[in-house]
């Protein structure tokens, strides 16, 4: 299948999913931003580093929406049947995964832009490293979206409550358990665990490019390779699952 058609299909699917949601619930844009900004309130109260909080908010915006929306997509699909219709068409499952993942990313983009702009304005993010920072955020989002889509294909018959609980537990767990809002140094000798999670791995890269932490060049390379590996594994799982569904 041609790459161009896959990209076009993904953009069409993203529009089908994002535009109705935006028209039906315009306040969703504010809610998504407030969820990511909530930990900032407690960081300010308890005298924590606001720089870590802003980076955590950016990771939270793309990370939570990536995995949670991919799983909850089944819930909404039971009413509108978009997935069943698209599966019956000559659309590659990777196109559907990217389209379904792009839709919530579009909705959360205002919050992400706000946190990025605020961090730049406060001097926490250097302008010359903005490209690397955005790349880390997108890889985190892509990897978690793929993982969420694969999980969702195994939950076709799960109840709405089960889907919501699983998506919330995974989303919140990947955001608040690893060192996303707090420094990796708090883990002591176990700080290597941060590389295993896309959220904390991306947060570490953003902090390194921001000058908040110092990482040796080989560790930066390892972190990028880990993020890329997670994304490619997720894509391969999607392709493998698609073949299984078609058979």
Residue among 209, 224, 225, 220 nearest 130 (CA): 209
* pLDDT tens, position by position, 37-65: 777 777 777 777 788 888 888 888 888 77
Q: Which domain holds residue 22?
A: 3-246
Predicted pLDDT at 247:
43
Paired tokens of 233:
């594994």
Q: What is the length of the chain?
A: 247
CB atoms under 10 Å from CB of 22, counted, come to 14
Q: pTM of the predicted model, to two decimals?
A: 0.82
Q: pLDDT tens-digit profile of 186-240?
A: 888 888 888 888 899 999 999 999 888 888 899 999 999 999 998 888 777 766 6
Q: Is 135 helix (H, G, I), strand (E, B) or coil?
A: helix
CB 171 within 8 A of CB 68: yes
Q: Is 27 helix (H, G, I), strand (E, B) or coil?
A: coil
Q: What is the DSSP annotation of 79-107?
A: HH-HHHHHHTTT--HHHHHHHHHHHHHHH
Output the pLDDT for position 244.
39
Torsion angle of C-alpha atoms 238, 166, 198, 211, degrees rounded to 10: 150
Q: What is the mean pLDDT of residues 112-125?
A: 87
- Cα distance between residue 114 and residue 106, in whole Å: 14
Can you give the pLDDT at residue 205? 92
Does 10 have pLDDT greater than 90?
A: no
Return the pLDDT at 243. 45
8 Å CB contact between 197 and 93: no
Q: How confident is the model at residue 110 (pLDDT cuts 50, 70, 90)?
A: confident
Proportion of the chain in helix, strand, coil states, percent, rounded to 5: 85, 0, 15
Please give the pLDDT value at position 202: 92
Domains of the chain: total: 1
Q: How much is the average pLDDT of 108-115?
A: 83
> Is residue 32 within 8 Å of 107, Cβ to Cβ?
yes
Start-to-end CA distance of the chain, whole Å, equals: 18
Whole-number average pLDDT of the chain: 78
């Amino acid at each position: 299948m041609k790459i161009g058609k896959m990209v076009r299909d993904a953009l069409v699917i993203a529009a089908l999913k994002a535009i109705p949601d935006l028209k039906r619930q315009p306040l969703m844009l504010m809610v998504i931003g407030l969820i990511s900004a909530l930990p900032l309130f407690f960081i300010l109260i308890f005298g924590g580093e606001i720089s870590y909080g802003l980076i955590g908010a950016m990771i939270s915006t793309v990370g939570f929406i990536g995995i949670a929306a991919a799983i909850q997509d089944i819930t909404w699909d039971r009413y509108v049947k978009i997935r069943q219709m698209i599966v019956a068409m000559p659309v590659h499952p990777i196109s559907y995964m990217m389209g379904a993942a792009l839709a919530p990313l579009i909705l959360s983009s205002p919050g992400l832009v706000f946190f990025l702009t605020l961090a730049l304005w406060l001097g926490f993010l250097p302008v010359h490293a903005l490209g690397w920072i955005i790349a880390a955020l997108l890889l985190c989002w892509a990897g978690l979206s793929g993982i969420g889509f694969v999980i969702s294909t195994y939950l076709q018959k799960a109840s709405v409550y089960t889907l919501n609980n699983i998506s919330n537990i995974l989303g919140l767990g990947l955001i608040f358990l690893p060192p996303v809002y707090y420094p990796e140094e708090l883990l002591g000798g176990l700080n290597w665990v941060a590389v295993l999670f896309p959220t904390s791995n991306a947060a570490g890269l953003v902090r390194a490019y921001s000058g908040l932490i110092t990482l040796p060049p080989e560790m930066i390379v390892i972190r990028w390779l880990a993020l890329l590996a997670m994304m490619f594994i997720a894509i391969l799982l999607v392709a493998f699952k698609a073949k299984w569904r078609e058979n």
